[in-house]
Amino acid sequence: MDDKILLDAAHISHVFPLTKKIAVRAVDDVSFQIRKGEIFGLIGESGSGKSTIARCVMNLCRPDSGRILYRGIDIFDSKEFRANKSLLQKSRQIIFQDSNSSLNQRMKVCDIITEPMRISRMTPARGSYREEARTRMSHVGLDERYLDQYPSQLSGGQRQRVAIARALSAEPELLVADEPIASLDVPIQAQIANLFRRLQREHGFSVLFIGHDLAMARFLCDRIGVMVRGRMVESGPAGELFDDPRHPYTKALLSSIPIPDPIRERGRKVPEFREEEFSRDGEWEEISPQHFVLQQRRRGL
C-alpha cells in the first residue's frame, strides 16, 4: 500500500433490508482513496449513500462486501481491529450534521471537548484537561467563558465549533465530516467552512467531507466523488470535475448551481438526466490523470 494513502476503500457495498422481500442497496461497489493531508468530498442528493459510507469508514456500519484499509489495517477484520483498537479509536473522529443531538446535553463544554482524550487516556500536554479544552476552544474561535456552559446555552454555530474542537482534541489523522454545516444559517456556514479549511491546513489531518452543497464542496475539497443511488459515477480533482464534468448525472447536478446573472441564467441550457436510463453496470475509465468516470456498457456487448 502506498505510504501516501491513509484510507483505501475497495468495492464497498451495503444493503438495508426493509422487509423479507424488499431491500435497499444503499451503497453499490464504491471504491475511493484518501491521501494524507487531503480533503476528499462525497457529493450527491439525499439518499445517495454518502452517510452510509461515512459510517462504514468509522466502523459504525459493517458493509456487506468489500474492505476498508486504514493505514494498512483492515478495519473489519476482527483480529486486526482488536490489535489496533486504541489507534483506530484515537486517530479517526467524526463530526455529525446535528450538533444539538451529537453533544451530551448534561455535560459542560469543557468535559465535552476533552472526552476523547479521557477515553484514549491521553496525557494532557498543557498540564490539565481544562487547559487543553481552553486551547482547543481558542483554535475554533470560542472564548474560554463558554467552558462551563451547557450545549443548550450555545447557538448552533457555537455548538458546531464545540463539536469540531472535540473531534480535534484527540489529534486525529482522519476527520469524517458528515454534512457538518448543512443545518446552519448561510453566514455561519461560511464562518465554519473557513475555520474548517484553516484548521486542516494548520494541523494537516485528512478529511472525508460529506455534503450536498456544491459550492462548499468546491471550496473545501481537493478531490471529489459524485454519488447517485448508491453508486459513484465520477471522481477527480475538484477544479477539473467542476470545469469539465463527463458523466450525465454530474453534468445535471452541477447545472443546478444558479448563475448570478439573470440574462445568462434564463438563456442557458440545463442538461437532462433520466434516472430510468441510469444503469449500475459500467466500467471505470481514467479520462485524465486522477479523473475517473463510470462509462456505461454498450448494449449488445
Q: What is the pLDDT of residue 157?
A: 86
Q: Measure the CA–CA gap between 268 and 298, rounded to whole angstroms.
A: 30
Q: C-alpha cell of 98?
A: 446535528
Lowest-confidence region among 31-45, 81-95, 212-226, 273-287:
273-287
Contacts of 160 (CB under 8 A, 6+ apart): 95, 99, 180, 181, 184, 188, 192
Share of the chain above pLDDT 90, in %: 54
Q: Measure the CA–CA gap between 51 and 210, rounded to whole angstroms.
A: 7
Q: What is the pTM of this model?
A: 0.90
Q: Measure the CA–CA gap between 217 and 209, rounded to whole angstroms.
A: 8
Per-position b or e across 98-114, b if 16+ CB within 10 A of its CB: bbeebbeeeebbbbbbb
Q: What is the pLDDT of residue 301?
A: 46
Mean pLDDT to the nearest integer, 197-204: 90
Expressed in angstroms, the distance from the first to the final Cα of the chain is: 34
Q: Measure the CA–CA gap between 174 and 36, rounded to whole angstroms.
A: 8
Share of the chain above pLDDT 70, in %: 90
- pLDDT higher than threshold 70 for residue 296: yes
Q: What is the pLDDT of residue 38?
A: 95
Give the confidence band of 277 by pLDDT, cuts at 50, 70, 90.
low
Assign residue 295 a region: left if phi > 0, alpha if psi is -120 to 50, beta otherwise? beta
pLDDT tens column, 102-122? 899 999 999 999 999 998 888
Beta-bridge partners for 24 = 16
Q: Are 283 and 31 in contact (CB under 8 A)?
A: no
Report the mean per-residue pLDDT for the chain.
88
Mean pLDDT to the nearest integer, 76-86: 94
Q: Are 162 and 154 in contact (CB under 8 A)?
A: yes
Mean pLDDT to the nearest integer, 256-277: 63
Q: What is the pLDDT of residue 28?
A: 93
- pLDDT higher than threshold 80 for residue 291: yes
Q: H-type helices in the chain, by residue range?
A: 50-57, 78-83, 85-91, 99-102, 109-119, 129-139, 156-169, 186-203, 214-220, 238-243, 248-254, 262-267
- pLDDT higher than threshold 90 for residue 73: yes
Mean pLDDT to the nearest integer, 63-84: 96
Assign residue 229 a region: left if phi > 0, alpha if psi is -120 to 50, beta otherwise? left
Pairing relationship of beta strands 73-74 and 65-70 according to DSSP bridges = antiparallel
Give the confidence band of 213 by pLDDT, cuts at 50, 70, 90.
confident
- pLDDT higher than threshold 70 for residue 275: no
- pLDDT higher than threshold 70 for residue 270: no
Residue 31, helix vs strand vs coil: strand
pLDDT tens column, 155-190? 888 998 899 999 989 889 999 999 888 777 878 888
- pLDDT higher than threshold 60 for residue 269: yes
